[in-house]
Amino acid sequence: MKNLIILSIVLMVITSFSAFAEVGNNGHLKRIAEISLNLSHYPSASEKKELVKMMKNEDLSESIRVLAHALYNLEHSVAEVDKKGLNTIINNASESNKIRTLANVLLNINHQPSSTDKVKLKSIIDA
């Protein structure tokens, strides 16, 4: 019985940290979507500073940091060095639909998101 109680407490703590991490990831995911939505060829200097903070934040998921890195490096389109990471996200069925959608949008950018991709970005922001 004592072991069951300890196990229950451990699971509650793990679940709490997981939920907290998801909230942090979601806020950053929305910010990456906002920057992408308003993109004109490449992120502004202030947006790049935000992206660097995300890239260095080890409390965020690896996928969020990959998205931030790809957007940071973007000049008219995604840099070749970032395509593999974005494709890994897209092909990972365990990733959330929002993260996979954003990775796909970034891969499709040519100077700015298409009108179809802008709708997808707005749905991530409004979720």
CB 32 within 8 A of CB 102: yes
pLDDT in tens, 43-95: 999 999 999 999 999 999 999 999 999 999 999 999 999 999 999 999 999 99
Asked if residue 64 lies in contact with residue 29, where contact means CB atoms within 8 angstroms, the answer is yes
Strands (E), the chain: none
Tell me the pLDDT band of 111, cut-offs 50, 70 and 90.
Answer: very high
Q: Please name which of 47, 33, 31, 26 lies closest in space to residue 113, comparing C-alpha atoms.
A: 33
Cβ–Cβ under 8 Å, residues 108 and 114: yes
The domains of the chain are located at: 27-126
How far does Cα 118 stand from its chain's mean position? 16
Q: What is the tens place of the pLDDT at every residue in 11-38?
A: 444 444 433 344 457 799 999 999 999 9
Max Cα–Cα distance, the chain, nearest Å: 61
Contact criterion met (CB below 8 Å) for 117 and 77: no
